[in-house]
């Protein structure tokens, strides 16, 4: 699966917009100023993704997923390694919220569900709105599961995977952890057509 450099740039820009919005929302809830950087965007077919799974597929992750159907169908997932998730939960609830009466497991899950939802909605919203795609959503889903188990039942030759590596960082530049955003879609064609339309128009709407 190859994106042209131009398509890649447009996609990156869209994801940046969405991540930026999500970071803005998260920063209203956090004391420290959290940045979300995007070091890498990779588009793969299922075969190329299998290689990634072989390398990193077994670690259990906290996963927040958003299913969608319509103009393009699939799901977007935000995957937190335990360390990133712990750090973020501490940042979020360390200040104003009374954590003494809360048990940490439900606190952890609840917070990760909401943060994941905010980030995915930011990215998904930006892509769908700017590209003017018609999409309906499924209810948000949360699981603690390995990447491989998240994918295996659905792996299909036609499936495409968009992998976005995102770094959580503080304003000071300290990088605190990596999260991964994944789009698994039946086909990228709708997405690519919409991106090409934007490119022909010469600017992001």
Partner 1 sequence: MNGLLRAPGEIDEEPAFRHMDFLPLGILVLDQGMRVRFFNACLEFWSGLRRDKVLGRQVQEVFPNLTRGTVLPRLDDIFLGGPPAVFSYHLHNHLIPSPLPDGGLRLQHGVAYGVKGGDGGVERVILSLQDVTELHTRLSDNLRITRELETEIEARKAMEAKLIELATKDHLTRLDNRRAFFDRLDAEIRRSRRTGQPLALVAMDLDRFKSINDRFGHQVGDEVLRNFAEAASQGLRGTDVLARTGGEEFFIILPAACGQDAARVAERIRKTVEAGTHITDNGDVVRYTVSLGVASLQETMDMYALLYRADQALYAAKAGGRNRVHVDPGEPEPSPLQA
Site residues (vs partner 1, CB under 8 A) = 25, 28-29, 66, 68, 92-93, 97, 101-107, 110-111, 113-114, 116-118, 120-121, 124-125, 128-129, 134-137, 139-140
In the complex, least distance from residue 92 CB atom to partner 1, rounded to whole angstroms: 7
In the complex, least distance from residue 49 CB atom to partner 1, rounded to whole angstroms: 23
Cα 106 from Cα 82, distance rounded (Å):
14
In the complex, least distance from residue 193 CB atom to partner 1, rounded to whole angstroms: 19
Cα 53 from Cα 94, distance rounded (Å):
34
Residue whose token pair is 């670690």: 59
Question: Which residue, 55 or 103, is less far from partner 1 as judged by CB?
Answer: 103
Using alpha carbons only, what angle is made at residue 73 by residues 51 and 134, rounded to the nearest 5 degrees?
Answer: 140
In the complex, least distance from residue 97 CB atom to partner 1, rounded to whole angstroms: 7
Question: Which residue, 92 or 168, is less far from partner 1 as judged by CB?
Answer: 92
In the complex, least distance from residue 145 CB atom to partner 1, rounded to whole angstroms: 18
Using alpha carbons only, what angle is made at residue 197 by residues 195 and 203, rounded to the nearest 5 degrees?
Answer: 85
Question: Which residue, 47 or 134, is less far from partner 1 as judged by CB?
Answer: 134
DSSP structure string for 7-22:
HHHHHHHHHHHHHHHH
In the complex, least distance from residue 4 CB atom to partner 1, rounded to whole angstroms: 28
Going 56 to 54 to 143 to 79, the CA torsion angle's sign is positive
Question: Which residue, 30 or 53, is less far from partner 1 as judged by CB?
Answer: 30
Cα 184 from Cα 52, distance rounded (Å):
14
| DSSP element (H, E) containing 126 | helix 104-131
| DSSP element (H, E) containing 39 | strand 34-45
Question: Which residue, 57 or 143, is less far from partner 1 as judged by CB?
Answer: 143
Question: Which residue, 9 or 114, is less far from partner 1 as judged by CB?
Answer: 114
Q: Return the number of other C-beta atoms located less than 10 Å from residue 169's C-beta.
A: 16
């Amino acid at each position: 699966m190859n994106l042209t450099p131009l398509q890649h740039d447009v996609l990156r820009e869209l994801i940046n917009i969405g991540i930026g919005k999500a970071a803005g929302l998260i920063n209203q809830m956090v004391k420290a100023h959290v940045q979300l950087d995007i070091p890498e965007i990779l588009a793969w077919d299922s075969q190329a993704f299998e290689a990634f799974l072989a390398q990193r597929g077994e670690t259990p992750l906290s996963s927040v997923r958003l299913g969608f159907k319509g103009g393009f169908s699939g799901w977007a997932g935000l995957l937190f390694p335990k360390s990133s998730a712990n750090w973020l939960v501490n940042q979020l609830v360390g200040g104003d919220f009374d954590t003494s009466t809360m048990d940490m497991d439900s606190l952890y899950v609840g917070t990760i569900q909401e943060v994941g939802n905010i980030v995915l909605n930011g990215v998904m919203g930006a892509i769908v709105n700017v590209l003017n795609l018609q999409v309906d959503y499924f209810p948000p889903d949360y699981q603690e599961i390995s990447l491989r188990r998240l994918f295996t039942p659905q792996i299909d030759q036609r499936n495409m995977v968009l992998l976005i590596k995102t770094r959580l960082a503080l304003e000071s530049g300290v990088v605190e952890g990596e999260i991964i955003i994944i789009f698994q879609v039946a086909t990228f064609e709708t997405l690519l057509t919409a991106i090409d339309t934007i490119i022909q128009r010469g600017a992001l709407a």
